[in-house]
Structure 1
């Protein structure tokens, strides 16, 4: 459709009458008379802007015309972003004829203008620090000038109906939450040569709008406002200047005054910019030139911050070492306690067995997993639980449980369904005894020999052992647990429900002669793997597993427990025994503990664990405790540990606050446009330093620290000199070399010294006291919001423990306060039991992440309908796990915070529609988790069996609108560099890392774009587009194109990609190739070939690939592969990642692929499992984390894909072996 183009003056003349004739709504706001002088241009301090305005508009229009020419796209389509969900216009009145087309042209142009303003503000003034996942409604009658008000952080808005939405009300269902940050369908189509002048002109325009000058050039607007008696308002928002958005206003001169309360009961305020002063000082031309220079600087000068860099010049040289030769078993008392893993509603019931006070559990129960000694109980019948769902599915697919009983309906029925006839296992005993390692020298407590075990227990423990000694742990062989207690429990439940029969694919284990046939091909091995893994699926449909690894997490929870008075409903005696066992068995030969289980000993890990051991009741005279103390003192005492450990020591009273650098809570009072603002930090970093600031601001110390004899002992045990003689101020910057992964830069040390003066000099006290009070108030409000948005789970275990202590302080040290008890009820969400004891996980699990990968693996094996119960349960889990999308989640407190106002105030991106890493109740969506969750749902849509169950109402449907919500989350999370970060858009700058105070972690300050997040989001959008080509089609195609270019831009010179969230280059290469090929990159492109050559060069002689966490730490491929805990340097997980990458690239080196596939087949255990090898995950460059599910999921996936891509080529003619 051709758009009539007329002179600018004629266009404005055509637009203004519509504005004058429009019918304003009561949602509009009021402009006080005292401010009208701003818009009448009669203030002598202000300059005439007509020439400058015309110059800016002319530049903008030229950019639009150039974009139209370059993209061959009509301007109307180029600017019309509303129908793609970016900016929406709700037309209250619609006219016909060429005049309406002309107005539409300006509306579209206005949208582009607004988006340009937004993007400029993102880069120059920091507008990106707020997610704007909002869809703004603007009436056509409000005209061109009102269109400027659509963008939330760079706004000239009239009658914005969402601006004053109170937090106490739920968001309206009709208020679709779409984003206006990250990818943009208009500006994204422009190249740098066009984008630079457009940004320059819009950079100028936003400064004008911020200073109220733009409005002052249009007397018709103000005349209409002055003449009407309707409630009309103006909000000019350029930078969201104020933390207290209900009281403060920016005063520039005497013109700006405080607004009065409106009839709506909300405080209306003017948020303007100090840039008006810059304009007055520089004048028109200099101001415009400055805007041009800044714009070009932003485009061409700064380097990309998302390239991880490397290799590091200083490689890790030390290796962990444990005293070997002894298998450790769980304490006998722990075995008698009958620990079990409860999930979903069962977990809720276990938690609420002994409730204290009015605290309640909220949020979606699906996915929750806790370890408890509370026996399982039947459903109350009031709600449909996961057990009820499984019963329905079994009936649907003709899979009956033993005796036809409902699974686990009561203790009596559970006893009936246990296997009474042990003879059914007799044929399997030969197989079992053949795979059990010799454990004659390691007698289990309370067990004289294996003959006293029931046949079922022998079978279950052998199946769950992962090829190790059942229920034994020896860190000198491998410090990674293989999840034997959980897997034993799940296999037991499976056998009880299925009459003692293993899955059909494993029926050979029932053969009386005990022979185990070798898999005939890759897909045969994959079927065995899926069959085994199906036994581990929980009743609500997800797969659980050990997500531990870091050693510094559990001590934080222990310190919080001790400060609260050691409540037994948080950590009981049974908990304490398992925790002490875990801490003891992971102690290394030098007496210390690492930052994580595969790390050499560090002061960070050792100090934290020693503190926890003593607080849990460890005897200081025990030999292993002495050795830990000696390690600390040999390294200079606790003054040499890292800042995070020092913080916990300060809280419990084992270190003076003068020994810790300042964490001022008043930082939150900085204006949001300030270049460094805590709201710009990566959310994990931000949510840790938020409670740290609160507790530091109050100088919180355990109330009994001065009288508690244990604290007095610790003050002597942790230091090399007498506690009272330590000059604490001089220890602030001390840190042991072994902890110093990211040395604090000189500028940050200087800043910390300045803050020390600020904290200690009395001259600053009046100011400090005034602002600190407000800062502490905001921190308390923000922490409360975080608690409720996550249903008291919180984003991770570190801020969970800190928020708990802060809630305890805010409650006046009342441990029975509702907020404190709500926190305590969610502590079990972070605890996990394995054969090495009880540990704290890095999250409340990896449920959704692991499950999404697993179902895609099974889909690629073409086995979804072969395992109908498994597939249907995954559908049910993913349906219930989508954030703020189910009735239960919408009834939670978290939904109250999904309003634009609340998300802006608490720096949250849109959550509704995303998928989490763990559970819906956790409440934090992540780009890659949303992508993988969506791909899991799309894969299940290909299953006729699952879709039939949905059609019959056995399974709940997932409406298209919910799928669209997920797509919206991913589109709004795309950064301007084309990549995707984790939770939010990149809000900060690369130089933030110069302010990293953690010492032990790298690249934690901002949310970078990652190859993993980019691939997951990009491929999800591509697969969605294949199934739903009409929804936001142009936007999605352009998003995919930009994502592909980003992924190519961060490829390393050697052809690899650095994996930031797992170990490491094999993982990154899989994501890189997978993303590019799904985005349309040719398999024969230089980018793909280069990566394939890198992988082929790393294949080991036995056919596999292997890496350990040193690849991540050093940012260089581990030279000896998985030397310590793999198989001759290879590992099944690394091999699977490499094969996934090569097969996605259709690598023509079939022999290399064949050797890799044969390696996976050879390493598979007879039961279909694979052995647990080295640690798979990593975060923050330097810390490993466990994913026990990976050893099952990725080999299955690789075997299925290679079988599909290479088929019979994997079998070498005439060859009997590899």
Structure 2
């Protein structure tokens, strides 16, 4: 494909799609880094800028220019009522986000008498005050010196010294929860009892030494902690607070790692929660090849080289991964470079799908085989895949992070005891790392690309899992990491199509019908994050290029022919391409934690629009 000219006349939809794919592929190629990767900025809102300001100020490492830029960015996000939105384009301000914003402004040196802080305090007071904020928000406030430490709990560090405590926690908790429990208890101890080695208090001193050892062992050679900026900086505070010199490489390295997450512009300082270059690169390789760029193109070979180099080669901490006995200890990929201790199943599936599509087996067969072996070994007993580990407690069918009284009727407990039991089950799953439908769908797409079909034992178990987790009234699948039912359903359909399951299966037809029933009049699909609280909002919202491309790809993957509905979806994507070849999607699609944090990444609309239109072009 000639990437320098645009010569096709736009006389038919098919011609338009060809031209749009050409422009879109060119836009992707222009954004590639010199190391072969793509990296979009993960914008999850100003909360993460605030947290960075607080943490760096505590460590004595806040650059004053960054402080000024941070204040500029924070001021721009405050609303007229004094509140601050918790994520981009949130409908309303929120207590937690406003408290963290306040802590960030305070850490950056803004006078408490400043009108912006006064308005924020008025909003916070109207919501019950700082004491009504979540524990994570109050930790940030205490680190900034806004509230006293004695307003926080002090559970002590003695639990760290109990034999088997680490193994017990690992059986129940996912890595996200596990690490934050270790971090929070250490910060509580630091805030209540002050910095230093706790000489004269032997139990506390041993607990602090244990915390230093824990975080030192789990810090990646890049000095990040599980690839997450706030966790990395909080661990640095714990190390410094418990006696590690602030010029120690563990602390300096953590600060340097988190500096990569910053974007400094005329609008101010933005801080992303994490990098995503393995994920972004794998998805865009797939989209480029599907759109017609040959696998031999230098951009593709360079990207494949980046991905191959990024594979985790050292075993991760056993409490994070809990691999089954006899399973490979390595083979996967993390969401980003520099996070080799925490590969995840989702990113591994995306990278394997890209490698299977774009790389010669004779060159990288060993790498692909090792990744496939690790991924298959990490399948849960229920047949699905979680995010980071295997063997954590399973989740009940249907959505999580929701009041049981708001569940679809068939899943809704009828009695108070039933609701309490369901809520307890859900909380256990939310704190762990259970199988979920969207990851399982993406793993199936990778396994299909690697030659598996519906007769393959791991695929058959995965299909049984998906059937048990389909929401009966909707026919849809709940999305843990992408918003939400439409995204989850699209990923499942793409995975089923890859292993040879098509739309004629009745349960698949119900999923297809759900997606088609939610198509907007303009041909696109959209979904608001309100669906995480209310399933009645499932699949409803203004059309989004990201979601439209994903749903179009999923529907075509299970063998739907071109229909007027799918033609309208393709037309929506054609009509919404920017002049520079990109698609812009300001809505949040990425989910960090439902109800708490959502984000957006500019590579996602590019990826899914290209994949959706490529699938439409290849359909009959």
Is the contact between residue 516 and residue 1166 of structure 1 (CA under 8 Å) also seen in structure 2? no
Deviation at 1:503, TM superposition (A): 4.4
Query: d(CA) in 2 for partners of 1:1153 and 1:906?
Result: 42
Q: Which of 1151, 1169, 1173 is 2:586 aligned to?
A: 1173
Query: d(CA) in 2 for partners of 1:851 and 1:528?
Result: 18
Deviation at 1:816, TM superposition (A): 1.6
**How many residues are treated as equivalent by the alignment?**
584
Query: d(CA) in 2 for partners of 1:1065 and 1:534?
Result: 31
Is the contact between residue 190 and residue 238 of structure 2 (CA under 8 Å) also seen in structure 1? no
Q: 1:807 to 1:1192 in 2, by over 3 A?
A: same
Query: d(CA) in 1 for partners of 2:443 and 2:71?
Result: 41
Is the contact between residue 485 and residue 538 of structure 2 (CA under 8 Å) also seen in structure 1? no
Query: d(CA) in 1 for partners of 2:307 and 2:383?
Result: 28
Query: d(CA) in 2 for partners of 1:1016 and 1:1119?
Result: 20
| Secondary structure at the counterpart of residue 433 of structure 2 | coil
Query: d(CA) in 2 for partners of 1:598 and 1:1114?
Result: 19
Deviation at 1:1148, TM superposition (A): 4.5
Is the contact between residue 681 and residue 1006 of structure 1 (CA under 8 Å) also seen in structure 2? yes
Query: d(CA) in 2 for partners of 1:1012 and 1:929?
Result: 12
Matched, 1:1108 2:528: yes
Deviation at 1:539, TM superposition (A): 0.9
Gaps of 5+ in 1: 1-396, 398-501, 509-514, 705-768, 885-894, 952-956, 1123-1129, 1207-1218
In structure 2, the residue matched to 1:187 is: none
In structure 1, the residue matched to 2:79 is: 588
Query: d(CA) in 2 for partners of 1:610 and 1:1121?
Result: 31
Deviation by residue 1:232-286 (Cα, 9 ceiling, x = unmatched): xxxxxxxxxxxxxxxxxxxxxxxxxxxxxxxxxxxxxxxxxxxxxxxxxxxxxxx
In structure 1, the residue matched to 2:462 is: 1043
Is the contact between residue 1002 and residue 1181 of structure 1 (CA under 8 Å) also seen in structure 2? no
Deviation at 1:775, TM superposition (A): 4.0
Q: 1:941 to 1:676 in 2, by over 3 A?
A: closer
Is the contact between residue 1132 and residue 1163 of structure 1 (CA under 8 Å) also seen in structure 2? yes
In structure 2, the residue matched to 1:1190 is: 604
In structure 2, the residue matched to 1:611 is: 103
Deviation at 1:636, TM superposition (A): 2.7
Query: d(CA) in 1 for partners of 2:432 and 2:357?
Result: 33
Deviation at 1:1112, TM superposition (A): 3.0
Matched, 1:1131 2:544: yes
Query: d(CA) in 2 for partners of 1:652 and 1:624?
Result: 17
Q: Which of 287, 290, 309 is 1:857 aligned to?
A: 287
Query: d(CA) in 1 for partners of 2:22 and 2:278?
Result: 22
In structure 1, the residue matched to 2:377 is: 972
In structure 2, the residue matched to 1:880 is: 309
Deviation at 1:626, TM superposition (A): 2.6
Query: d(CA) in 2 for partners of 1:625 and 1:1079?
Result: 56
Give the alignment of 1:991-1006 within 5 angstroms: 1004-1006=430-432
Query: d(CA) in 1 for partners of 2:155 and 2:12?
Result: 61
Is the contact between residue 53 and residue 70 of structure 2 (CA under 8 Å) also seen in structure 1? no
Matched, 1:932 2:345: no
Query: d(CA) in 1 for partners of 2:149 and 2:12?
Result: 63
Deviation by residue 1:436-476 (Cα, 9 ceiling, x = unmatched): xxxxxxxxxxxxxxxxxxxxxxxxxxxxxxxxxxxxxxxxx
Q: Which of 140, 159, 165 is 1:648 aligned to?
A: 140
Is the contact between residue 1022 and residue 1078 of structure 1 (CA under 8 Å) also seen in structure 2? yes
Is the contact between residue 317 and residue 341 of structure 2 (CA under 8 Å) also seen in structure 1? no
Alpha-carbon RMSD across the aligned residues, in angstroms, is: 3.3
In structure 1, the residue matched to 2:500 is: 1080
In structure 1, the residue matched to 2:4 is: 504
Query: d(CA) in 2 for partners of 1:905 and 1:535?
Result: 41
Query: d(CA) in 1 for partners of 2:303 and 2:50?
Result: 34
In structure 1, the residue matched to 2:248 is: 817
Deviation at 1:1189, TM superposition (A): 0.8
> Please, what TM-score do these two structures have when normalized by structure 1?
0.45
Is the contact between residue 526 and residue 1199 of structure 1 (CA under 8 Å) also seen in structure 2? yes
Deviation at 1:1060, TM superposition (A): 1.2
Give the alignment of 1:481-630 within 5 angstroms: 503-506=3-6, 520-565=15-60, 567=61, 571-599=62-90, 600-630=92-122
Deviation at 1:1174, TM superposition (A): 1.3
Deviation by residue 1:27-84 (Cα, 9 ceiling, x = unmatched): xxxxxxxxxxxxxxxxxxxxxxxxxxxxxxxxxxxxxxxxxxxxxxxxxxxxxxxxxx
| Secondary structure at the counterpart of residue 581 of structure 2 | coil
Q: 1:905 to 1:641 in 2, by over 3 A?
A: closer
Query: d(CA) in 1 for partners of 2:558 and 2:265?
Result: 38
Deviation by residue 1:754-797 (Cα, 9 ceiling, x = unmatched): xxxxxxxxxxxxxxx77655444332211111114663344312
| Secondary structure at the counterpart of residue 832 of structure 1 | strand
In structure 2, the residue matched to 1:184 is: none
Gaps of 5+ in 2: 402-419
Give the alignment of 1:975-986 within 5 angstroms: 975-986=380-391
Matched, 1:1146 2:559: yes
Larger Rg: 1
Deviation at 1:698, TM superposition (A): 4.0
| Secondary structure at the counterpart of residue 593 of structure 1 | coil
In structure 2, the residue matched to 1:848 is: 278
Q: 1:925 to 1:835 in 2, by over 3 A?
A: farther
Give the alignment of 1:81-230 within 5 angstroms: none
In structure 1, the residue matched to 2:476 is: 1056
Matched, 1:830 2:253: no
| Secondary structure at the counterpart of residue 677 of structure 1 | helix
Is the contact between residue 334 and residue 340 of structure 2 (CA under 8 Å) also seen in structure 1? yes
